[in-house]
Amino acid sequence: METFDTIRTRRSIRRFAPTPLPDDAVRRILEAGRHSGSSMNEQPWTFLATRDRATLAALATVGDHAGHLAGAALGVAIVTPPLDPEGWLMFDVGQAATQMMLAAWAEGIGSCIASVYRHDDARRILGLPADRTVDCLLSFGYSAEPPRPPRAGGRQPFDRVVRWERW
Ligand SMILES: Cc1cc2nc3c(=O)[nH]c(=O)nc-3n(C[C@H](O)[C@H](O)[C@H](O)COP(=O)(O)O)c2cc1C
């Protein structure tokens, strides 16, 4: 898929077919995250990937809107050091997440973010060491639903979000 079309058409997918993902596609998704830029090239992440059904079901409980992980073919936890409110950590996480989701969409694989609300539960499920945490989980899989328009009726019009030269 052409890059702009990938960006323009990507939608969050929350219901997945039981079909497993090919290993090479999983590898490309994770490589897309690895190639992300990050502040000072610190690459503050580990991508903890799981295809284990029990782990995915458990991860589906760590956020109030994380249920989509239960049916995913692949879950990826973006594991980082604890968040620094002054720093760029979440921006870096967002970039890696976006690159993985777009790489997946470009080859017909859907995905969705899940925000972690219960961090200790997520840390326990994934066996994270004391100096690591996770705020962003991603589910991946072939879609079991047609892409839905995003909530609140799609994106704002171009002329509302773009201004030229001065405010
Ligand atoms: C920072 C962030 C957190 C999100 N957290 C969740 C979440 O916990 N559960 C979920 O189902 N979707 C989550 N989403 C997906 C958004 O709901 C979705 O991107 C938005 O509604 C636009 O829809 P689209 O991705 O289909 O264009 C999150 C997205 C972002 C960027």
* Higher pLDDT pick, 147 / 145: 145
The single-letter code of the amino acid at 98 is: T
Q: Taking residues 110-123, what's their average pLDDT? A: 98
**Token pair for residue 75?**
């879950």
Please tell me the distance between residue 165's alpha carbon and the centre of ligand 1 in angstroms. Answer: 31
Work out the mean pLDDT of the chain and round it to a whole number. Answer: 96
**Token pair for residue 43?**
């690459």
Q: What pLDDT digit, counting tens, does each position of 20-53 carry?
A: 999 999 999 999 999 999 999 999 999 999 999 9
Sequence ranges of the domains in the chain: 21-145
What would the CATH number be for the domain defined by 21-145? 3.40.109.10
Q: Taking residues 136-145, what's their average pLDDT? A: 97
Q: pTM surpassing 0.85? A: yes
Which residues' Cβ are closer than 6 Å to ligand 1? Answer: 11-12, 14, 63, 65-66, 68, 112-115, 150-151
